[in-house]
């Protein structure tokens, strides 16, 4: 079974954009980084694998969602992702990417990319 056959969802990836309002104050805004990127959205169980621990502040961040992408996906921490099914049904309107991992295929190249995410409320 190929990786492409497992990526049954589509992701629009947005990156933070440095936008200033009329008073020269930063405004939370995003720009489209990549559209309709094949992915797979998976819910994580409440286990340590779904938690990201900070070594500096001892905080624990729960990431209940994981996105799987192909090896060439352009996704990074602080991006926001909208996930849809192939028919356009929205699965997640806004997920914040907390952590990104490139998973090796054993020969040194990237097999796939995993992104742990939190929902934006």
Say if CB 44 and CB 66 are below 8 A apart.
yes
Q: In the chain, what are the domain boundaries?
A: 3-119
Does the pLDDT at position 3 exceed 90? no
Does the pLDDT at position 52 exceed 80? no
How far apart are the C-alpha atoms of 59 and 42, rounded to whole Å? 24
How far apart are the C-alpha atoms of 10 and 35, rounded to whole Å? 8
Sequence-separated (6 or more) residues with CB below 8 Å from residue 50: 44, 62, 63, 64, 66, 116
> How does pLDDT run across 61-113, given as a tens digit for each residue?
677 899 999 999 999 999 999 999 999 999 999 999 999 999 998 888 999 99
Neighbours of 87 (CB within 10 A): 6
Helix (H, G, I), strand (E, B) or coil at 107: coil
Q: What are phi and psi of 25, to 5 degrees?
A: -100, 140
Question: What homologous superfamily is domain 3-119 in, according to CATH?
Answer: Bacteriophage SPP1 head-tail adaptor protein (2.40.10.270)
Provide the whole-model pTM: 0.81
């Amino acid at each position: 079974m190929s990786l492409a056959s497992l990526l049954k969802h589509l992701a629009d990836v947005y990156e933070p954009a440095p936008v200033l309002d009329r008073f020269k104050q930063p405004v939370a805004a995003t720009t489209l980084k990549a559209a309709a990127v094949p992915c797979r959205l998976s819910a994580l169980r409440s286990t340590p694998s779904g938690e990201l621990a900070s070594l500096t502040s001892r905080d624990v961040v729960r990431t209940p969602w994981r996105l799987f992408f192909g090896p060439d996906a352009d996704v990074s921490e602080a991006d926001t992702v909208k996930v849809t099914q192939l028919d356009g049904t929205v699965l997640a309107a806004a997920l914040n990417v907390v952590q990104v991992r490139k998973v090796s295929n054993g020969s040194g190249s990237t097999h796939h990319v995993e992104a742990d995410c939190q929902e934006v409320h």
